[in-house]
Amino acid sequence: MTAHDPTTITIPTLATERLILRGWKPADIDPYAAMNADPEMMRHEGGTFGQAATFRLVAELIGLWPLRGCGMWALELRETGEFIGRAGLYEGWDWPGIEAAWTVRRDQWGRGLATEAAAAAIEWGWENLAADHLVSVITPENVASRRVAEKLGFRMTGRGDVGPWKDQALYRLDRPTAG
Ligand SMILES: CC(C)(COP(=O)(O)OP(=O)(O)OC[C@H]1O[C@@H](n2cnc3c(N)ncnc32)[C@H](O)[C@@H]1OP(=O)(O)O)[C@@H](O)C(=O)NCCC(=O)NCCS
Mean pLDDT, to the nearest integer, of 133-151?
Answer: 98
Mean pLDDT, to the nearest integer, of 162-173?
Answer: 95
Res. 152: pLDDT tops 50 = yes
Instruction: Please report whether residue 3 resides in a domain.
Output: no
Res. 63: pLDDT tops 60 = yes
Instruction: Please report whether residue 1 resides in a domain.
Output: no
User: Is 89 exposed, middle or buried (CB count within 10 Å of its CB: 0-12, 13-18, 19+)?
Assistant: buried
Res. 178: pLDDT tops 80 = no
Instruction: Please report whether residue 7 resides in a domain.
Output: no
Instruction: Please report whether residue 72 resides in a domain.
Output: yes
Which range of residues forms the domain containing residue 161? 14-174
Q: Is the CB of 84 under 6 A from ligand 1?
A: no
Q: Is the CB of 41 under 6 A from ligand 1?
A: yes
In this structure, what CATH number is given to the domain that contains residue 36? Answer: 3.40.630.30
Mean pLDDT, to the nearest integer, of 3-29?
Answer: 93
The best mutation among 102, 152, 170 to test binding of ligand 1, ranked by most ligand atoms within 8 Å of the C-beta, falls on 102
Distance CA 166, CA 158 (A): 13
pLDDT band per the 50, 70, 90 thresholds, residue 120: very high
Q: What residues contact 123, with CB distance under 8 A and at least 6 apart?
A: none
Mean pLDDT, to the nearest integer, of 82-96?
Answer: 96
Mean pLDDT, to the nearest integer, of 53-75?
Answer: 97
Atom of ligand 1 nearest to the CA of 102: 3
Res. 59: pLDDT tops 90 = yes
CA proximity to 91, closest of 162, 153, 166, 9? 162
DSSP letter at 6?
Answer: T
Give exposure, 70-81, as e/b (b: 16+ Cβ within 10 Å). bbbbbbbbeeee
Mean pLDDT, to the nearest integer, of 58-63?
Answer: 97
Beta bridge partners of 19: 77
pLDDT band per the 50, 70, 90 thresholds, residue 1: very low
Looking at residue 31, its pLDDT comes to 98
Instruction: Please report whether residue 137 resides in a domain.
Output: yes
Pinpoint the alpha helices (H) of the chain.
Answer: 29-36, 51-68, 113-128, 143-151
Which amino acid, one-letter code, is at 162?
V
SS3 for 156? strand
Looking at residue 3, its pLDDT comes to 66
Instruction: Please report whether residue 9 resides in a domain.
Output: no
Q: How many domains does the chain have?
A: 1
